[in-house]
Amino acid sequence: MKFTCFQKKLSDSIIIAQKAITPRTTLPILEGILMTTYKGVLKLVGTDLNLGIECFLEANIIEEGAVVVPSRIFGDIIRKMPNSMIEVEVDSNYRISIKTENSHFTIQGVKPDEYPELKYVEERDPIEIQQNLLKEMIQNTIFAVATDETRPILTGALFEVKEDNINIVCLDGYRLALKRGMVANNKNISVIIPGKTLSEVSRIIDNSDDKISITVDEKHVLFDMGYIRIVSRLLVGEFLNYTQIIPQEHKTRIRADIGTLYDAIERASLLAREGKNNLIKLTLKEDRLIINSNSEVGAAHEEVPITLEGNEMTIAFNSRYFMDILKAVGDEEVCIDFTTNVSPCVFRPEDGDNFTYLLLPVRTSV
């Protein structure tokens, strides 16, 4: 096997394929990237058996073949090369030689036969969505995906297509994040995609209007961008019926400017963090929201102008969770609905329903 290729292109592709490779594995071959040549195309594959990423790039193929290269060292070598033509040649013993004008490396590769094949997902009837929309939807929900394995299903995000609506829902037991997008598709799908897959997808896709096509079968999902294909196992199980847990009614509704609210909470949380409990207390008044936090270092008092409909009340939250949501909401004006100080509060947009966030309060004994 022998090919030449531009350093930049090869390096970029390696970095993408590496995203599927876990740093810790007991199966040594998974530490490698499978490199295969086709007519005028080089394919790189990385996988951890749950997630697989294939990258295609143009290359000048001189002799066809396949090899598994050690991912980290090969990636590092290519990355440090000057941006010029690189020649890669593999002999029959899978020794890989990497040459540029002034450098020459030889490293040992592995026979490609044992490299696991990625699951083939037949692209029938895919969903098409703009990459920038998908990216935004993932980024604004993924923070709420559960990180502990107490309830494995919650380590995934619900990916739901209902006719022209696409919903991504994440839920970790303390908060729920729901983001809606509109895409002309007219399909009905509901699958649970592992959080890790989605966050890698959001990192790989561009901020452009280009479409990405998504195909699901019973057990797998395929994200296809043409030159990059991401295949992932789905989580099997029943996601929570999230519509049931979002309260439809409220006793108190406030409207506030996100930027002001975020800054105030961030300042108050400086002290909350010192006390190691991230606890902030919100007092909702007629025209203002009072934020209090204290620790042995001192006490913070912040006031934010709001408009309030309904009852005045006091409620406490984990400031970190609260800020995560405000960050995801962005600069939009937001309505926050409260019922009691032990029931969830709901963040909704002023108009429309392109997001819903739900946050559980904390209760203190004093």
Partner 1 sequence: MSRILILDDNTINQIAAGEVVERPASIIKELVENSIDALCTSITIEIEDGGLRYIRVTDNGIGMSHGDALKSLERHATSKIVSSNDLNNIVTLGFRGEALASIAAVTKMEIITREKDSISGSQIINHGGDLVSNKEIGCPEGTTIIVRDLFFNVPARLKFVKSFRAETAHISRLVEKLILGNPKISFRYINNGRIVYYSPGDGQLKNSIFSVYGRDIIDHILPVHPIGDSRSISLSGFLGKPAIARKNRIGQSFFVNHRFIKSGLIEASIESAYKTYLTANLFPWVILNINIAPNKIDVNIHPAKTEIRFKDEKAVSEFIRQQIGSVLAGTPYIPALGKDSFKPHIGKNDKDQCDDMEEGYQVEAFSSISSEESITDDVTGQSADPKKEVGKAESPSKIFLEEEPTKAYIASPIEDPENGINRAKETEFELRDSYQKENATSHYKVIGRIFTTYIIVERDSECFLIDQHAAHERILFEKYKNMFSNQAIITQRLLPPIIVEVTHGEQLILNESMNLFQSLGFEIDSFGGRTYAIRGTPVVLGVSNPKAFFHGLLDDVDSFTQGSNYELMIEDIIRMSCKKAVKAGDILTNAEVYALLDALMEDRIPLTCPHGRPIMISLTKTELEKMFKRIQ
- Contacting residues toward partner 1, per CB under 8 A: 148, 150-151, 171, 173-174, 176, 240, 245, 275-279, 296, 318, 342-344, 358, 360-366
H-only helix segments in 41-130 = 71-80
279-288 burial, b at 16+ Cβ within 10 Å, e below that, comes to bbbbebeeeb
What span, in angstroms and rounded, lies between the C-alpha atoms of 168 and 179? 5
Nearest residue (CB) to partner 1, 32 versus 156: 156
CB of 121 to partner 1, least distance (A): 31
Nearest residue (CB) to partner 1, 47 versus 318: 318
Is the four-CA dihedral 154, 155, 160, 166 of positive or negative sign?
positive
Nearest residue (CB) to partner 1, 2 versus 273: 273
CB of 277 to partner 1, least distance (A): 6
Nearest residue (CB) to partner 1, 102 versus 244: 244
H-only helix segments in 19-111 = 71-80
Q: Are 67 and 30 in contact (CB under 8 A)?
A: no
Which residues contact residue 204 at a Cβ distance below 8 angstroms, ignoring those fewer than 6 apart?
Answer: 16, 19, 53, 225, 228, 230
- Torsion angle, alpha carbons of 127, 141, 138, 263, to 10: 140
Residue 28, classed as helix, strand or coil, is helix
Q: Which two tokens stand for residue 47?
A: 């996988």
Nearest residue (CB) to partner 1, 125 versus 148: 148
Helix (H) or strand (E) holding 310: strand 307-310
CB of 358 to partner 1, least distance (A): 7
Residue 259, classed as helix, strand or coil, is helix
Nearest residue (CB) to partner 1, 50 versus 341: 341
CB of 150 to partner 1, least distance (A): 5
What span, in angstroms and rounded, lies between the C-alpha atoms of 358 and 325? 9
CB of 60 to partner 1, least distance (A): 52
Q: Say how many C-beta atoms besides its own lie within 10 A of residue 327's C-beta.
A: 14
CB of 158 to partner 1, least distance (A): 13
Nearest residue (CB) to partner 1, 25 versus 150: 150
CB of 364 to partner 1, least distance (A): 5
What is the residue whose two structure tokens read 């797998």? 220
